[in-house]
Each structure stands twice: as C-alpha cells, then as structure tokens.
Amino acid sequence: MNDASTPAQAPARKAATDLFQHHDHFLVDELLTEEHKLIRDTARKYVSKHLKPIIEDAFEKAEFHPEIIPGLAEIGAFGPIIPQEYGGMGLDQISYGLIMQEIERCDSGLRSLCSVQGSLVMYPIWKYGSEEQKKKWLPDMAQGRKIGCFGLTEPNFGSNPGGMVTTFKDAGDHYVLNGAKMWISNAPMADVAVVWAKAENTEGRIHGLLVERGMEGFTTPTTHGKLSLRASPTGELVFDNVKVPKANLLPNKSGLGAPLGCLDSARFGIAWGTLGVAMECYDTALRYAKQRVQFDKPIAAFQLTQKKLAEMITEITKAQLLTWRLGVLRNEGRATTAQISMAKRNNVALAQNIAREARQILGGMGITNEYPIMRHMMNLESVVTYEGTHDIHLLITGAEVTGIPAFK
C-alpha cells in the first residue's frame, strides 16, 4: 500500500500533512480561553510533526510505536484532568476534550491509547483507589512510564456488562481471580489492568481489581486480524487462579456504576475525538476539491460537491457547539450520562457520514493511504461499537426521555 504513487494530475498529498486550517464557521474559538487554545495548538503541532508521519505505516503493519509515548505524556494526553499532586496536569474538561480532538484527528487508535490510560485506568484509581494506589500508579502513568488497560467486556457480555462471569473469592490474605476479558485495548503491552469482577462472597457485587503483569496465571494474548484500529494493540485478559493482593482492590466504589462512571469520562473524550476525525476528513476533502480539475473546473465548483462540503461544515459546527456545551456542564459537575451518550453517538455517526462523503470527493484517491480518509472510516467501525454501541446510546437517550429503560 505504501508504494501507491500519486498520479501526476491528482492534487499532491501535502495538503493532508499541513497543519489543519481553521474552519471556524461560528467563531467557536471565541468560546475557548487562551489556555484552551494554547493546549490545543500545542497538541496539534505535536500530532502534525510526530504522529501524522508515522501513522499510515503503523496502521498498515498493525504496529504500535512505543517511542510516541513520552511526547504524548508531554502534551498532557495521559490523564489531563488528574490533579498535579498525582503527577497529572489538573486541566479542565474542555482542555481534555481538545487534546483528544487533536490526537484522534490523526488516528482513533492513538486516541484509544490515551482514553484508556487516562479515563479508564487513571480515573478509577484516582476516584475509587486508596492513597497508596494513587501514589504508586498515577505519577508513572501520567508520564507514560506505566501503561494500563481496562477489562470490562467478556466474550459473552459486551453491551450487557452486568452479566459478567469473571469472579474473585476471598482466600485469606489475598483474592483468587478467575475468568476472561475480551477486546481489551492496550492489553498486550499493559503493566496493569483495571479488572471488573464479581465478588463471590457478596452475592456478585462488582469490584475493580488492579491486576499486574507478571502475576502468576495472568496472560494477555493479542487479538489478530483487526481491519480497524490497527495502530492500537488489542488483546484478551485471561485469569487462571490469579492471586491478587487485597491491597489491589479499589476500595472506594463498587457496583456496575463504578465502571460505568469511568465510561462517562471516556465517552466524553470520544465525542471530542471524533469531532477531530470529522474536521480532518472535511479539511482534506475541501483542499482536494479546490485543486482537482475535471471538465476544466475545480470539482469544488460543482454544486454537488458544494452540497457535500456545506453539509459537512454545518454538521461539524452543530457538533462543536454541542460538545463545547457538554464540556462546560462537565466542568460544573452537571453533565448526565444521557447527555454524554447523545454526544458520543451523534459525533461518531457524523464522523462516519463525513468520512464517507469526503472519500467520494477524493474519487479513486480516496481509497488509498495517500490520504487519511479510508483509514479513519475503518477506525470508526470500532469507535461506533466500543464504549457503548450506537444503538445502546440511543436506548440510553430513550430511557432518559421516556423514563422507561428498553435494554432488557
């Protein structure tokens, strides 16, 4: 795929690697503080200089490049909202969202790395962990010296995690953990897994356990053959009588609400991230359409191309406002799970639609890795499924507006 050569008459790929142009149709930037803009622009420059040049190769070879980890830590990608006393940056929710927007502008798999590390591992340790657990893990994770993963999904329990069959039992001075998790981002390289399991001695109440690489009976086989999110390592977590020290149980919250609380934070990051994908695909298509000539005119001059572009920027603008408002509500501690669901669902679907239309504008070039669009399309097939599928988020909204949950 890397050998694909650009035909002489097609616009050069340079457009796709330049820094993103602002298409700020409703002056949404004015809603951001100077600090927000600085954080976003720093992330944007890092992504453009260090991530965009390696991503097509990493995706094609299904390889993760560990050398990007220190740079990601430097721009605050790992747990940006974690307080400084634990090594985080103590940023607000909008800053967190903007960093995810810039990273996912490059690739959803790279944003996955950061979502899992920050929202699904550091967040539960910070919110539900003991002081010792926070001190042991958070500073190293903020710097990317330790990588985490989050084990909720099981082979037979995806959308319905409450049915999980992974269990642990009290064995005196430790717990014994048995079961398996599937589809776990970062699993093959993680130093620690936040694992959700039912306690046998409390009628199956769900708890979080910190399971560390090297514990006897704990393995993390890699999942192969993914045609989506190829730059993000995925694996299983297998527990065969793993002895977990009692000090590794997250003591301050239990029940299904504990993992679902982490998902609120990660889904919020996805809402921002997929906005970045939509912006990148729109930007790529707009530049291409202005340069590509057919019937003696740039294709941007044809009404049907303009319809596509006009609809894209309209949807992006609406989503920017929705997502910014959600950030304000989260900063105020007022955002609900249903609001987060609506934003995650809306923004993933709009990114899918925009990517599909953008690919059409690029004609045949749209299917090559000379441009990022087809890769984004493939990635979005994971993003629309993980962290709650498109339909589960619809049902969460439906339950909120009717008061009647329709999941079961």
Catalytic residues: 387
Given the DSSP bridges, would you call strands 174-185 and 192-199 parallel, antiparallel or unpaired? unpaired
Are 128 and 102 within 8 A, CB to CB? no
For ligand FAD, the binding residue among 385, 397, 398, 400 (CB under 6 A) is 385
Q: Is 250 in the site for ligand FAD (CB under 6 A)?
A: no
Partner touching 151 among ligand TGC, ligand FAD, none, CB below 5 to 8 Å by kind: ligand FAD
Q: Is 180 in the site for ligand FAD (CB under 6 A)?
A: no
Residue placing its CB nearer to ligand TGC in the complex, 309 or 396: 396
Q: Is 329 in the site for ligand TGC (CB under 6 A)?
A: no
Beta-carbon neighbour count of residue 89 at 10 Å? 21
Residue placing its CB nearer to ligand FAD in the complex, 266 or 275: 266
Residue placing its CB nearer to ligand TGC in the complex, 317 or 397: 397
- Site residues for ligand TGC, 146-165, by CB under 6 A, read 150, 152-153, 159-162
Q: Is 398 in the site for ligand TGC (CB under 6 A)?
A: no
Q: Is 234 in the site for ligand FAD (CB under 6 A)?
A: yes
Q: Is 93 in the site for ligand FAD (CB under 6 A)?
A: no
Residue placing its CB nearer to ligand FAD in the complex, 159 or 397: 159
Q: Which residues contact 92 (CB under 8 A, 6 or more apart)?
A: 81, 327, 331
For ligand FAD, the binding residue among 159, 167, 178, 291 (CB under 6 A) is 159
Minimum CB–partner distance for residue 257 and ligand TGC (Å):
3
Q: Is 119 in the site for ligand FAD (CB under 6 A)?
A: no
x/- string (CB under 6 A) for ligand TGC, residues 17-56? Answer: ----------------------------------------
Partner touching 162 among ligand TGC, ligand FAD, none, CB below 5 to 8 Å by kind: ligand TGC
Minimum CB–partner distance for residue 38 and ligand TGC (Å):
26
Residue placing its CB nearer to ligand FAD in the complex, 329 or 378: 378
Minimum CB–partner distance for residue 263 and ligand FAD (Å):
9
Residue placing its CB nearer to ligand TGC in the complex, 336 or 360: 336
Q: Which residues contact 329 (CB under 8 A, 6 or more apart)?
A: 335, 339
Tokens of 196: 């959700």
Q: Is 339 in the site for ligand TGC (CB under 6 A)?
A: no
Buried b (16+ CB within 10 A) or exposed e, 113-148: bbbbbbbbbbbbbbebbeeebbebbbbbbbebebbb
Q: Which residues contact 50 (CB under 8 A, 6 or more apart)?
A: 68, 71
Residue 75 to residue 47: CA distance in whole angstroms: 10
Q: Is 392 in the site for ligand FAD (CB under 6 A)?
A: yes
Q: Is 387 in the site for ligand TGC (CB under 6 A)?
A: yes
For ligand TGC, the binding residue among 54, 165, 189, 260 (CB under 6 A) is 260
x/- string (CB under 6 A) for ligand TGC, residues 71-110? Answer: ----------------------------------------
Candidates 10-18, 38-46, 255-263, 296-304; binding stretch for ligand TGC (CB under 6 A)? 255-263
Partner touching 35 among ligand TGC, ligand FAD, none, CB below 5 to 8 Å by kind: none
Binding site for ligand FAD (CB under 6 A): 116, 149-153, 158-159, 183-185, 229, 234, 382, 385-387, 389, 391-392, 395, 407
Binding site for ligand TGC (CB under 6 A): 112, 115-116, 150, 152-153, 159-162, 185, 255-257, 260-261, 263-264, 266, 337, 386-388, 392, 396, 407
